[in-house]
Amino acid sequence: MSTTKPAAKPAKTPKAAKTAAPAAAGAEAAAKPAKKRAVNTAPRKDAAKSSGPRHDPSRLAQILIGPIVSEKATLVSEKRNQVVFKVLRDSNKTEIKAAIELMFPKTEVASVQTTVQKGKAKRVGRSIGRRDHIKKAYVTLKPGHELNFSGEGA
């Protein structure tokens, strides 16, 4: 008895039908090959000249809302040479550093750490409200530098 394999069944073509329909509808799009974007890896001419990111002075003047005076801020000031500021919530560390060096010209900033303090939920009678969220910036000053809030000697 001879064993023969049955003839191979023709492959179903639902995939071919699906791909043929869009090609017919957009024949022009299928005819043009996709262009590859050229990536410029050459260094910029002014890259060596730039000393860091440039910020708008009018924005920098608005970033610092005010200093935070509390027991924790005083402790941090004495131990780590840091000053705590309330800042705009959409500001970033480089803007905060630039704002402090703009407002206090003789001061140099070593680093900036930020935290966002979530506002507490408060009740007044039956209504429930929430205090605003606050962003704080802990600004570490370089050794030998200090901030003078009184305005003397400026």
Mean pLDDT of the chain: 80
Distance separating alpha carbons of residues 82 and 109, to the nearest angstrom: 10
Instruction: Tell whether pTM > 0.85.
Output: no
100 by Cβ neighbours in 10 Å (0-12 / 13-18 / 19+) ranks as buried
CA distance to 72, 81, 93, 114, 135, per residue, from 76 (Å): 6, 7, 19, 14, 17
pLDDT tens-digit map of 81-126: 999 999 999 999 999 999 999 999 889 999 999 999 999 999 999 9
Contacts of 98 (CB under 8 A, 6+ apart): 53, 55, 60
Distance separating alpha carbons of residues 12 and 89, to the nearest angstrom: 60
pLDDT tens-digit map of 22-41: 555 555 555 666 666 766 66
